[in-house]
Structure 1
């Protein structure tokens, strides 16, 4: 049978080899077993849905982070083929999920330009998951199979009827493999937003049920909308983006959008088949070469520069924000995680299409060329000024340190691996730090006030700042693309130490902006740290202790609140665990209450024996639940309740109707990870029993009608008799206290500064430190409720 572009059947899935060694060497397949690799699992599943959208069969993708750490990705595409595979002799879905290099991307008739790992993606996700469940809606049926650590634990079978199409995959990353299981909603949201922009008309919804967050991404304008979005916090030089899309004769699609802002950095975002190529590659090289050549040719043709100077590509691209998106069949990547494109055909296609388009565009839009040229000439002059200013920062020998402004107190150690530099806010704290430090290995550099905001300053102005020159000289690395040398760094621990107030946070952010923009290798090598002075000093009687943060304070107060307390019917060793989990239960019940479910109803379901969505096939079992809810008054707030049958899943539902909404106790509710977590926490409700809750405090007996009252009493009791001193300034501590809490390597807490996603970091620095106020105000308003330590 011959496959056509619209044909996606069992014959489209070709098996190349089995699934071996993935669990033994996961880094070979997903890059790492840290946070980056964890999120990569989601991207691989989503990429399969994106491929369906690119082929014209999918309009909606739904991604959900569940409370138990699992993730669901659901689309309304064609659904994975469900018949028996013609050569493997088992269901095609099982082949796709369990065999490496099995997928529709090997058959050129199924997908033209796919973004998935060519059949590696979903099978690798399966292999690295504690469990994975796949539900396929196709050809009038609902099909289901469950896997655990890559192996099927149920048969692939039809479980219901439907007129819908699509694939739904729920998986939970394996704790035996990954260093962290904590998904970042912001990281996933950014990637999914990116995909919505790159695929005009596609709707992607992302939800985080852990924190009640959700976003709905849908952009009809494609990358034109995207480039405007990326520049919303910047002052624009061009009114509208330069945009073009074209396909070559050998079916390579090239799409790009270019916008200029008044910043001093270039931001180029490149994609291949929707995959973000962070390390660039041939398509980026083609973009830069074509743009520089055509621009300079146009300028020389019309003699637009009267001086004898030559503009470099860096000059011309200063302030440029651009997106280049290439789609081609069977791209060649360097590395499994596809961060760099190696296809020479992509460079040729980009250069050819851009050169032809830009020549015509510049001829038709000379005013735009003039604006870009003015910006480029400013960049050229600044580069020349910076070259001269750099000479001021070059350090001839270590002895010059004593004469430098900023009063650097150097250490005796000459080996950078054993040396650390504290960047300390203010002379007062700097004086205390100098008194308490270990002179052998610890250097102190006090910083006066707030350093220059490098996000708003060009390179030559940066080098005219005395504080920044002192810092550069102390570090020993020099600065600038050609002169910076990480090997000359004199300290392998550079520690930012500021006050725990608004000014301290601002100074820390200014310093991190400087390191991120101009000395990123210091961060990438793991040399930059943040000191963590304690937030509190707590005294009770004659004893005192330092508390690092709010979470540690809450934990400490809970311990104090439970002293001399007896909780009736509970083992004393379990008090703290019980209370922590009861707080979680209370929050979850409140969450369901906001959705319309009565509190008593949810608590009843949480402790109901052997409640499982598979038992909803049994009508008598469902009627038993219904009677229980009726008997304990859980249904009284609803104007209409009843039981009905759902043919799609072959199970019974309990329906609940109020004045404003229709709810149901059904498969969709009971099968969610949130509900499974509620069921797990239900054991703690069983343990403490029903209200009223009774506890013994000394000789007194106290009774509480609600869980909230009980928890609040314990927390308030923990604060009684405490003298809590909140530190905001390092200057409030004497040298001995500063040594004990912040400087002593044996007792201090340091946070290493790491770059998980360079573009997210860049976007955030622009938002927080740039000139445009409106987006920053929006950011503050959106995050105001998340503030833990408000300095007023």
Structure 2
């Protein structure tokens, strides 16, 4: 029997081929959740986009088949199929089965590229139960088949072809992923973004999971100019800013390869108060920015201040405008291309290539100086908007300070009818933000008083998308939220204010609203507030949405609760649940009202109750279905969720009526149980 303290060579495991990927998939694709599942598509598409950036691909087709397999087709050069000089097997097999085998290392095949630098497609192979690759080149069509990283069908010629390109079809491995169901909106948004970043590249997305295949086509002649216009859809854009500013430039042609790069920037101001600047490096979104974003921000602030001084719009006694001031209401896209990008972290959230800061700074400075000199009217409006932002920022600072002083004074009774918990360890405590006094009362009675705090809100929170910081921080409801949570706020530009996440009084902040139209409205407003003023809480995973049941099916004396699943309409979920209980969903039903006024449907052998409001459940029901850590369902809010919510508020509650009309026409068939 081996001694447990023995540690020798036999303890060291060597993972051959792609076994390491299957053993630790999170190291390569981030997670095995839906995010990781979709990452497989991005890796294949990124290879096709690399061909487009190299000038060899004009169209990419992505198809979701009925069984949730994916096919990606491009008209690039096609993966090489000749014998690899070192491995002595087809190069296609090398690319598919060996990590770090690709054409992205010496800049000969690709001057710039995204993807995982020779890792991407082999990782997809490792994490798929089946992969079929067809390559069209040299007048032939070649095919190989793989399974879980292993070659199961050697390369063979299966036909002729008068075109070139690569077709990859893969079936994600259900032994690896928590779900193998692709979300159309996630695919749609990412592929549209890719088309924006690659001018004139045509991308076609087809979903064959519907009776009639759903097809979306993206192709943008204006590239990132169209992207910025898209970001500003639903917002009021003043006449002076109707046409986005566009700046592009390259490094000196004599610069060493390691210092080469291209910079492309488009920007446009709207009459709003937030900042929406998106940065990309080789088409990879860098949510934490990096050197290219630093260069852009520095150039923008410096050039606008210099212009304002030169035109005497800023007097000698006036302080310089800050970055927050000049970026208020700004939507911008920064896209850089470079041969060997250095990212901070495996997730590539931040560009670390230091020379891109100086290159971006120079190109944006030169382009913006020329624009302001050639367009005096928009230039003056830019300065004027920044000056107004400066005044509002000072007013917002005073409102924030007043809120903080008020918070410090209210030690005995925190605002907003907060029922606090007794435990003071933030890692253990939860704050439920509840809609209305009725639901708040049930939640207070049903909570765990040691770790769960309740903050009822009266009515709808202020729509912070349409007001400035000073107005938002003057709102009693928002002051209650800020004071209860305790960590302060950022400014709408995202990098000011007094935010300190270490002072957060709860590490779970749970939005708990009614399962109706008003509840959804309040939820989206709260998400927008957190995204705009407390985004680090979302990044840290502190913000959640509660999932209360939508129906209760009472059979004899037991209630079976029915929850939304995000995939089916509510009536279908109800029907499926009734059938799973061995009951007949087609029995004639009779609407009735219980003594407490709750709407019910009485059927043979059971009763169905629709929970339109949290207050319709007694404290014990609310606790067991929605609040008890052992039985509840919570959805953690991600930045992607918050961005979608932010855009929804902008479009559905902004000044443009057309977006609301389009949304209603598109989603009217999905309506269920609308309020009378």
Smaller-chain TM-score bracket = 0.7 to 0.9
Structure 2 counterpart of 1:494: 509
Deviation at 1:29, TM superposition (A): 2.5
The answer (yes or no) to whether the contact 1:559–1:718 under 8 Å persists in 2 is no
Deviation at 1:73, TM superposition (A): 0.6
Q: Residues 324-383 of structure 1: CA distance to partner in whole angstroms, max 9, x if unpaired? A: 111222222223443322222322221122212222211111111111112111211111
Of the candidates 649, 654, 664, which is equivalent to residue 770 of structure 1? 654
Q: Taking structure 1 as reference, are residues 729 and 299 closer, same or farther at Cα in structure 2, changes over 3 Å only? A: same
Find the aligned partners of 1:730 and 1:40 in 2 and give their Cα distance.
37
Of the candidates 532, 548, 560, which is equivalent to residue 517 of structure 1? 532
Structure 2 counterpart of 1:782: 666
Structure 2 counterpart of 1:731: 615
Q: Taking structure 1 as reference, are residues 312 and 750 closer, same or farther at Cα in structure 2, changes over 3 Å only? A: same
Find the aligned partners of 1:334 and 1:412 in 2 and give their Cα distance.
41
Deviation at 1:395, TM superposition (A): 5.8
Instruction: Determine if the alignment matches structure 1 residue 458 to structure 2 residue 468.
Output: yes
Instruction: Determine if the alignment matches structure 1 residue 393 to structure 2 residue 388.
Output: no
The answer (yes or no) to whether the contact 1:755–1:761 under 8 Å persists in 2 is no
Of the candidates 232, 239, 243, which is equivalent to residue 242 of structure 2? 239
Deviation at 1:170, TM superposition (A): 0.8
Q: Residues 128-174 of structure 1: CA distance to partner in whole angstroms, max 9, x if unpaired? A: 22221100111121111001111100111101122222110011222
Q: Residues 740-775 of structure 1: CA distance to partner in whole angstroms, max 9, x if unpaired? A: 444444444433333346644543342344333322
Of the candidates 520, 525, 533, which is equivalent to residue 548 of structure 2? 533
The answer (yes or no) to whether the contact 2:95–2:101 under 8 Å persists in 1 is yes
5 Å-filtered alignment, 1:182-261, equals 182-211=181-210, 212-237=213-238, 238-250=241-253, 251-261=260-270
3-state SS of the aligned residue for 1:356?
Answer: helix
Q: Residues 699-745 of structure 1: CA distance to partner in whole angstroms, max 9, x if unpaired? A: xxxxxxxxxxxx97999999545332212123333444444444444
3-state SS of the aligned residue for 2:235?
Answer: coil
Instruction: Determine if the alignment matches structure 1 residue 469 to structure 2 residue 484.
Output: no
Structure 2 counterpart of 1:69: 68
Find the aligned partners of 2:18 and 2:445 in 1 and give their Cα distance.
61
The answer (yes or no) to whether the contact 1:561–1:719 under 8 Å persists in 2 is no
Q: Residues 487-543 of structure 1: CA distance to partner in whole angstroms, max 9, x if unpaired? A: 222223322222222222212222222112111222333332333333223334555
Structure 2 counterpart of 1:415: 425
The answer (yes or no) to whether the contact 2:435–2:519 under 8 Å persists in 1 is yes
Instruction: Determine if the alignment matches structure 1 residue 503 to structure 2 residue 504.
Output: no
Deviation at 1:124, TM superposition (A): 1.8
The answer (yes or no) to whether the contact 2:544–2:637 under 8 Å persists in 1 is yes
Instruction: Determine if the alignment matches structure 1 residue 355 to structure 2 residue 392.
Output: no
Structure 2 counterpart of 1:568: none
3-state SS of the aligned residue for 1:183?
Answer: coil
Q: Residues 639-679 of structure 1: CA distance to partner in whole angstroms, max 9, x if unpaired? A: xxxxxxxxxxxxxxxxxxxxxxxxxxxxxxxxxxxxxxxxx
3-state SS of the aligned residue for 1:36?
Answer: helix
5 Å-filtered alignment, 1:15-34, equals 21-34=20-33
Structure 2 counterpart of 1:294: 303
Q: Which structure 2 segments of 5+ residues have no match? A: 1-15, 254-259, 491-495, 565-569, 591-600
How high is the TM-score relative to the length of structure 2?
0.87
Instruction: Determine if the alignment matches structure 1 residue 270 to structure 2 residue 279.
Output: yes
3-state SS of the aligned residue for 1:175?
Answer: coil
The answer (yes or no) to whether the contact 2:437–2:456 under 8 Å persists in 1 is yes
Deviation at 1:62, TM superposition (A): 0.5
3-state SS of the aligned residue for 1:298?
Answer: helix
Of the candidates 638, 652, 670, which is equivalent to residue 754 of structure 1? 638
Deviation at 1:315, TM superposition (A): 0.7
Find the aligned partners of 2:533 and 2:310 in 1 and give their Cα distance.
35
Find the aligned partners of 2:438 and 2:476 in 1 and give their Cα distance.
20
Find the aligned partners of 1:374 and 1:171 in 2 and give their Cα distance.
54
Of the candidates 421, 431, 441, which is equivalent to residue 451 of structure 2? 441
Q: Taking structure 1 as reference, are residues 734 and 159 closer, same or farther at Cα in structure 2, changes over 3 Å only? A: closer
The answer (yes or no) to whether the contact 2:233–2:651 under 8 Å persists in 1 is no
Structure 2 counterpart of 1:283: 292
3-state SS of the aligned residue for 1:160?
Answer: strand
5 Å-filtered alignment, 1:117-156, equals 117-156=116-155
The answer (yes or no) to whether the contact 1:395–1:473 under 8 Å persists in 2 is no
How high is the TM-score relative to the length of structure 1?
0.75
3-state SS of the aligned residue for 2:21?
Answer: coil
3-state SS of the aligned residue for 1:322?
Answer: strand
The answer (yes or no) to whether the contact 1:557–1:718 under 8 Å persists in 2 is no
The answer (yes or no) to whether the contact 2:624–2:631 under 8 Å persists in 1 is yes
Deviation at 1:557, TM superposition (A): 1.6
Find the aligned partners of 1:146 and 1:359 in 2 and give their Cα distance.
55
Instruction: Determine if the alignment matches structure 1 residue 553 to structure 2 residue 612.
Output: no
3-state SS of the aligned residue for 1:105?
Answer: coil
3-state SS of the aligned residue for 1:21?
Answer: helix
Instruction: Determine if the alignment matches structure 1 residue 722 to structure 2 residue 632.
Output: no
3-state SS of the aligned residue for 2:530?
Answer: helix
Of the candidates 340, 352, 372, which is equivalent to residue 330 of structure 1? 340
3-state SS of the aligned residue for 1:22?
Answer: helix
Find the aligned partners of 1:498 and 1:534 in 2 and give their Cα distance.
11
Deviation at 1:23, TM superposition (A): 2.4
Find the aligned partners of 2:104 and 2:83 in 1 and give their Cα distance.
19
The answer (yes or no) to whether the contact 1:421–1:494 under 8 Å persists in 2 is yes
Instruction: Give aligned pairs, total.
Output: 629
Structure 2 counterpart of 1:634: none
Find the aligned partners of 1:63 and 1:487 in 2 and give their Cα distance.
44
Find the aligned partners of 2:17 and 2:561 in 1 and give their Cα distance.
55
Larger deviation: 370-379 or 330-339?
330-339
Q: Taking structure 1 as reference, are residues 355 and 398 closer, same or farther at Cα in structure 2, changes over 3 Å only? A: closer
Q: Taking structure 1 as reference, are residues 31 and 499 closer, same or farther at Cα in structure 2, changes over 3 Å only? A: closer
Deviation at 1:20, TM superposition (A): 6.3
Structure 2 counterpart of 1:589: none
5 Å-filtered alignment, 1:298-377, equals 298-306=307-315, 308-377=318-387
Larger deviation: 372-381 or 548-557?
548-557
Structure 2 counterpart of 1:606: none
- Over alpha carbons, which structure has the higher Rg? 1
Q: Residues 50-101 of structure 1: CA distance to partner in whole angstroms, max 9, x if unpaired? A: 1222222222110012222221110111211222122221111111111222
Q: Which structure 1 segments of 5+ residues have no match? A: 1-16, 564-710
Find the aligned partners of 2:271 and 2:229 in 1 and give their Cα distance.
14
Q: Taking structure 1 as reference, are residues 466 and 548 closer, same or farther at Cα in structure 2, changes over 3 Å only? A: same
Cα RMSD for the two superposed structures: 2.7
Larger deviation: 445-454 or 476-485?
476-485
The answer (yes or no) to whether the contact 1:277–1:340 under 8 Å persists in 2 is yes
Find the aligned partners of 1:757 and 1:47 in 2 and give their Cα distance.
23
3-state SS of the aligned residue for 1:269?
Answer: strand
